[in-house]
Amino acid sequence: MSKNPVQLTIKTKHTQWIKEEAKRLGFLSCGISKAEFLEEEAPRLEAWLNANHHGQMQYMENHFDKRLDPTKLVDGARSVISVLLNYCPAETQNDPEAPKISKYAYGHDYHHVIKGKLKQLQEFITEEIGEVQGRAFVDSAPVLDKAWAAKSGLGWIGKHSNLLTQQVGSYYFIAELIVDLELEYDHPVTDHCGTCTACIDACPTQAIVDPHVVDGSKCISYFTIELKEELPASYKGQFDNWMFGCDVCQDVCPWNRFSKSHNEPLFNPHPELLAMTKKDWEEITQEVFSKVFQKSAVKRTKFSGLKRNIKFLE
């Protein structure tokens, strides 16, 4: 039995409105997929956890079913609206000798920036469409962001396990709104990594153990952000001068030649950040740390954590 054409028109209209509003709010792109159990991801996630690739990130073991089924996060969920927000900076740190910070952490903490935009998108949906139940997720709940973005046609999962998009690259954040509204769904795009292994070859700690599989417990981002204890001496000299996060697998990716700098003022770095020299970082005080990273994601490591990381690079 064919669907009512009026229903289809309304669904198309709603989908169009949401995508246009997402663009107006500054999102790079918006894709939508059906809220259903992620069948292909289940065995992958299970194998990844069983191999202890999450290291001491115990939280990854929690809510296994919720990670794979959005209807367990939002009652009656019908659609997952995925959005991308560019963070590629116009400039990077000036001193080539200085310890490095991942580009995503240059400006204000992305959690707050994106949450604000998603809240506006949610308000728009309520105003234009009616009482729609939903929740916004920004990398802080059991949601497999990259899997949903790929399912929504926003890119494909590269060999470094990040989402990649033609003409755009990968310097962007992923977030989603899970709603109980039926919309038109997008389709996944094809993989364009081909035979390239640039990311696998360049990883300083050989954390990409197989194409599309990253051993999180070997990743520089894990060591410099997630690990709370002393850094393992066996990795001394392998951090490629990264003190917070790591961009190596993205920096070497040919698709990032197409990246363009963001136009989100809140992602602009603190005026002092890019100018700090190697010596400035080595002598950083709590006062400077608090000033430069007042609204930054770098606060996650705390001053003591950043000092530990810098010392490890010496």
Q: How far apart are CA 187 and CA 105, in angstroms?
A: 31
Instruction: With respect to residue 161, please indicate whether it lies within any of the assigned structural domains.
Output: yes
Instruction: With respect to residue 153, please indicate whether it lies within any of the assigned structural domains.
Output: yes
User: Among 257, 251, 266, which Cα is nearest to 100's?
Assistant: 251
Instruction: With respect to residue 63, please indicate whether it lies within any of the assigned structural domains.
Output: yes
What pLDDT is stored for residue 63 in this prediction?
A: 86
- The total number of structural domains that make up the chain: 1
Catalytic residue (one of 95, 139, 180, 191):
139
- Paired with 34 in beta bridges are 79
| Containing structural domain, residue 24 | 5-93+101-179
Say which residue, 61 or 72, is predicted with more confidence: 72
Residue pLDDT, tens place only, 263-309: 999 999 998 999 999 999 999 999 999 999 999 999 999 999 999 99
Q: How far apart are CA 63 and CA 48, in angstroms?
A: 15
User: Among 113, 40, 127, which Cα is nearest to 83's?
Assistant: 113
Q: pTM for the whole thing?
A: 0.94
Asked whether the beta carbons of 97 and 236 are under 8 A apart, the reply is no
Asked whether the beta carbons of 101 and 205 are under 8 A apart, the reply is no
Instruction: With respect to residue 312, please indicate whether it lies within any of the assigned structural domains.
Output: no
Q: Give the residue-averaged pLDDT of 249-273.
A: 96
What pLDDT is stored for residue 1 in this prediction?
A: 44
Residues 6+ apart with CB under 8 A from 163: 84, 146, 149, 150, 154, 155, 156, 157, 170, 172, 174
> Is 109 a residue of the active site?
no
Residue pLDDT, tens place only, 273-286: 999 999 999 999 99
Instruction: With respect to residue 84, please indicate whether it lies within any of the assigned structural domains.
Output: yes
- In the chain, what percentage of residues exceed pLDDT 90? 92
